[in-house]
Amino acid sequence: TSAMFASKFRGSMLGALAGDCCGAPYEGHDVCVGGERIILKKYFDKLEGPYFKAPKKAYTDDTAMSMCLAKVLIRHGRIDDKELAVEFVKEYFTDPRRGYGGAVIQVFNKLRKSKFADPLQPAREQFNGSGSFGNGGAMRVAPVALFGHKKTSDEIIEMAKQSALITHYHKQGIDGTVLQALAVHAALLMDPEQQLNTKDFISNLIEKMKAIEVDEEGLGLDDAQPFTKQLEAVARFLSMNTEPSDDDVLNVLGNDVSALYSVPTSIYCFLKAQKTIKGIDSDNPFRRAVEYAISLGGDADTIASMAGAISGAFYGENVISTNLVKHLEFHEEVTLLANELHEASLKTNVGR
Ligand code: R7I
Ligand code: MG
Ligand code: MG
Ligand code: MG
């Protein structure tokens, strides 16, 4: 129903915001062990407990750029390269201190200087022409998947790619964006009242990524189909009788700013949190996903934000503690944009 989708839109966008805001203080930290896990638990207990007045938890570039995407989709009903580039640049120069990736700022400067002559050119020039493989495309893509809730996977894939290309030209930067979009889209279309079949969820993503990465076969690369391989590792971890150690998870799935070593990790966090997690004492699966993601350290804001976006798209907004939401900077604006994005998605799909 329309009301359920509206709740899922808010769930996904507030879920992403929660992961970003709560994870940001942990970005760059080591994996939480022993007492650090308990400190993290207390941090969440406090935020979810009776409301107290405190400075809001600040959002970062992950949220700033997601909202740019939402605005462009609301306004234009599609991704317009130039409009999106203008929106990113406007946002960055208005509010630059949001922890942006180290290299992406060059793109913003070049876009502005060239007056957006070719909105895709600066991204192509990153890293000596290979493009960025950072997770910046993936971290902001949830609104694309939400907006496309009535569209086919192929249409989601195209829109996700396009949204990435303004800043991320490297195949892994793009494919990571596509994977995150497909994960959010799949979660959005599922009934949260039904027990989620994690095995099916991951096999569906593997099938889709295989098809996307097929052109890499036979190129003699060390690692043809890298995302497929990472997703197969996620499936393996989920099927184990005992939880893999944090070291195994970090060594195989990773927790860094590259798309390849963060997007599959976020999907793993979401799926693993369907069940209880050792060292995480909460009966709320959304909180488990986000808290576990943050406990892994590294690119904590982004991995938690991506896991939160998937989880919120599956469960809807009610899974997120309302007390926690009140502590998040920008939560009213995000709620409003989620509602507008939902309305816009209904309009553009009329007659389809
Ligand atoms: O991908 P991007 O937008 O960064 C997003 C991350 C998230 O964690 C945010 O929370 C924020 O903290 O930043 O920005 P980029 O600058 O394009 O990529 C991020 C980083 O990935 C770069 O600064 C590089 O360190 C690394 N990187 C690369 N390194 C070597 N070669 C990305 N591409 C390459 C590459 O081709
Ligand atoms: Mg960030
Ligand atoms: Mg590169
Ligand atoms: Mg980050």
Calpha distance 293→326 (Å, rounded): 21
Residues with CB under 5 A from ligand 2 (ion): 60-62, 99, 301
Q: Is the CB of 19 under 6 A from ligand 1?
A: no
Ligand that comes closest to the CA of residue 134: 1
Ligand that comes closest to the CA of residue 103: 1
Report CA(174)–ligand 3 centroid distance (Å). 11
| Residue that the structure tokens 């709620």 belong to | 335
pLDDT score, position 298? 98
Flag whether the ipTM exceeds 0.90.
yes
Q: Which two tokens stand for residue 81?
A: 């390269």
pLDDT score, position 10? 98
pLDDT score, position 218? 55
Report CA(126)–ligand 4 centroid distance (Å). 19
Ligand 1 atom having least distance to the Cα of 135: 1
Alpha carbon nearest to ligand 1 atom 6, residue: 101
State pLDDT tens for residues 243-252: 999 999 999 9
Compute the chain's Rg from CA coordinates: 19
pLDDT score, position 147? 98
Calpha distance 44→78 (Å, rounded): 37
pLDDT score, position 224? 83
pLDDT score, position 352? 41
pLDDT score, position 217? 53
pLDDT score, position 214? 80
Q: Which residues of the chain have pLDDT under 50?
A: 350-352
Nearest to 259 by CA among 143, 171, 159: 171
Q: Is the CB of 325 under 6 A from ligand 1?
A: no
| Residue that the structure tokens 């971890």 belong to | 237
The interaxial angle of helices 171-189 and 226-239, nearest 10 deg, is: 40
Q: Are 165 and 150 in contact (CB under 8 A)?
A: no
pLDDT score, position 105? 98
Report CA(102)–ligand 4 centroid distance (Å). 11
Ligand 1 atom having least distance to the Cα of 24: 10
Ligand 1 atom having least distance to the Cα of 173: 1
Provide the 8-state DSSP code for 256: S
Ligand 1, pocket-test mutation among 17, 27, 59, 132, most atoms within 8 A of CB: 132
pLDDT score, position 342? 98
Calpha distance 303→261 (Å, rounded): 10
pLDDT score, position 176? 98
Alpha carbon nearest to ligand 1 atom 18, residue: 134
State pLDDT tens for residues 272-327: 999 999 999 999 999 999 999 999 999 999 999 999 999 999 999 999 999 999 99
Q: Is the CB of 319 under 6 A from ligand 1?
A: no
Q: What's the gap between Cα 262 and its chain centre?
A: 10
Q: How many CB atoms lie within 10 A of CB 250?
A: 19
pLDDT score, position 223? 74
